[in-house]
């Protein structure tokens, strides 16, 4: 690398160091806003977050920074791999934001923060009308932002999907989800017609917050989530936040009559956290820690939550501790009964509480509604009824109010395109699970609680290159095969045919 390239690269990294400080501050405030921030302080805190986000945006819009970043991109072949990934990422950002002014960016951030606050209030009151106009504003600004991009994809919604997973667009998702519906709808009907009855009464026995905290602490210890580099707090909608290199925090939610809910939100969010805690340290040094797609991320969280967390071996591992912490729940409940109850197939309204089998339908519903919103084939006024109708069509149930219907998820307050990542994540991890079991005895390792070996395999094969590859390249690198939903669909069919004796 000749001197001029190094000089520009050093300048780019100097500016990105300052950008990171603003971004980290916003992340801390956002974590606070979604956990312990007083309700009356939320709007003011949102304004502070918007200000800080805009300061970071201005640094990256500075002509000197843009010139240096584009110079480095023009000489990317001289760079080593991590810096080349950074140069390409900055160039993609440049094309996206070239025509986006700081004023417009501030307008978007303000609208999103306002929508978040109104969503919380609307959900509390179960009143979509309190949120509708802010949602409309976020939708309109999302479409406007896409229209300003230098090299926008022809389909507006594809740009939003691409932000969460490069190369994953409506054409691919339409085909994938049609395949899912073809195989899962008939299978769901067979399951529902099965005479097998699974005991579930104990799932809703009363527990205390302290008991749930003890279980959360135990789960984090089991999966080796590093609390010296992380923390856990309570929130309305569980999430994981990467606040810095050694600051990966998770959240959960305690329900007094659903002890398993927090257990599995901790495993899910703990999976996200492990991905960030165990990624290469070089990612931070080269400012590419945010390059992994959300489909990759959701594949990992749902791998720990479902492929491990709902397996017979994991239930065997945690059964004694579950009995110890929740004696009033587990009285006269066998290990087999716990396993079956944790894998029951029962359509429910709430996505985050959905069983492993029906979860994909929740995602398909949101994807189809998002797509209709972006295409303008549904109005904001029609959304609740469309939502309810799709739940009736796919799952045979109908929300009784806005809280358990259109208002249940926070995602749309910040934009669109995320939801498909959850379903795609299930399909990615089914593929690398099949690769993984060729190299290590995963069931035996889970039963023994050997997460050092499990996490080590994940770090080397799944986490290591995630920030440097597109989704398609990444899954091919892990498995040696191109993406297919069939591994996941085969897994569901095999597992639930046994449980329901089909």
* 200, 204, 206, 211: CA torsion to nearest 10: 80
Q: Do the strands 230-234 and 240-244 form a parallel or antiparallel pair, or are they unpaired? A: unpaired
- Residue 285 vs residues 10, 65, 77, 288: alpha-carbon distances, Å: 12, 18, 19, 8
d(CA 93, CA 96): 5
Structure token pair of residue 492? 């569901």
CA torsion sign, 224 to 274 to 240 to 488?
A: negative
Task: Determine the Cα angle at 417 with ends 38 and 141, to 5°.
Answer: 70
Which residue is catalytic, options 269, 289, 291, 356?
Answer: 269
Q: How far apart are the C-alpha atoms of 465 and 279, rounded to whole Å?
A: 9
Helix (H) or strand (E) run with residue 52 in it = helix 42-61
Q: 């912490």: which residue's tokens?
A: 325
Residue 257: which residues within 8 A CB-CB, separation 6 or more? 204, 205, 206, 207
CB 310 within 8 A of CB 287: no
| Residue pair 383/369 in contact by the 8 Å Cβ criterion | yes
Rounded Cα gap, residues 217 and 116, in angstroms:
29
Whether 269 is catalytic: yes
> How open is the CA angle 240-242-28, to the nearest 5 degrees?
95
244-252 contacts at long range (C-beta below 8 A, 24 or more positions apart): 244/24, 244/27, 245/281, 245/284, 245/289, 247/24, 248/273, 248/276, 248/277, 249/31, 249/273, 250/225, 251/31, 251/34, 251/35, 252/212, 252/216
What is the DSSP annotation of 215-250? HHHHHHHHHT--TTSEEEEE-SS--EEEEETTEEEE
Beta strands at 247-252 and 240-244: parallel, antiparallel or unpaired = antiparallel
Catalytic residues: 269
């Amino acid at each position: 690398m000749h001197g001029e390239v190094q000089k520009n690269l050093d300048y780019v990294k100097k500016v990105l160091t300052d950008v990171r400080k603003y971004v980290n501050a916003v992340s801390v405030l956002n974590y606070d806003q979604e956990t312990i921030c007083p309700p009356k302080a939320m709007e003011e805190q949102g304004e502070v977050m918007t200000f800080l986000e805009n300061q970071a945006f201005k640094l990256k819009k500075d002509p000197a920074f843009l010139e240096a970043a584009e110079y480095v991109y023009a000489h990317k072949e001289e760079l080593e791999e991590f810096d080349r990934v950074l140069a390409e990422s900055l160039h993609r950002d440049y094309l996206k934001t070239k025509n986006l002014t700081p004023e417009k960016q501030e307008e978007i951030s303000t609208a999103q923060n306002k929508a978040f606050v109104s969503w919380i209030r609307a959900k509390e009151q179960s009143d979509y009308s309190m949120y509708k106009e802010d949602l409309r504003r976020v939708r309109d600004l999302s479409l406007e932002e896409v229209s300003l991009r230098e090299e926008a994809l022809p389909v507006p919604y594809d740009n939003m999907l691409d932000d969460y997973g490069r190369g994953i667009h409506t054409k691919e998702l339409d085909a994938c989800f049609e395949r899912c519906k073809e195989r899962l709808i008939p299978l769901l009907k067979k399951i529902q017609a099965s005479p097998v009855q699974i005991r579930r009464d104990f799932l809703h026995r009363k527990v205390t917050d302290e008991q749930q905290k003890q279980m959360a602490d135990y789960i984090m210890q089991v999966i080796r989530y590093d609390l010296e580099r992380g923390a856990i707090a309570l929130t309305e909608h569980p999430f994981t936040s990467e606040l810095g290199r050694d600051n990966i925090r998770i959240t959960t939610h305690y329900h007094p009559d659903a002890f398993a809910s927090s257990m599995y939100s901790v495993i899910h969010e703990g999976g996200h956290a492990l991905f960030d805690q165990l990624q290469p340290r070089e990612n931070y040094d080269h400012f590419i820690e945010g390059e992994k797609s959300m489909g990759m991320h959701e594949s990992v969280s749902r791998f720990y939550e479902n492929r491990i967390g709902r397996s017979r071996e994991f239930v065997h591992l945690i059964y004694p501790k579950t009995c110890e912490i929740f004696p009033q729940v587990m009285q006269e409940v066998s290990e087999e009964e716990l396993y079956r109850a944790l894998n029951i197939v029962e359509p429910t309204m709430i996505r985050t509480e959905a069983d492993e089998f029906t979860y994909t339908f929740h995602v398909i519903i949101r994807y189809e509604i998002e797509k209709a919103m972006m295409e303008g084939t549904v109005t904001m006024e029609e959304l609740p009824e469309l939502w309810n109708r799709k739940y009736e069509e796919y799952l045979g149930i109908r929300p009784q109010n806005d809280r358990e219907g259109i208002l249940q998820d926070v995602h749309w307050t910040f934009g669109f395109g995320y939801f498909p990542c959850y379903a795609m994540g299930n399909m990615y991890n089914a593929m690398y699970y099949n690769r993984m079991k060729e190299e290590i005895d995963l069931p035996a390792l889970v039963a023994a609680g050997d997460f050092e070996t499990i996490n080590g395999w994940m770090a080397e094969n799944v986490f290591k290159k995630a920030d440097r590859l597109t989704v398609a390249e990444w899954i091919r690198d892990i498995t040696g095969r191109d993406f297919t939903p069939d591994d996941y669909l085969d897994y569901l069919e095999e597992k639930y045919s046994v449980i329901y004796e089909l």
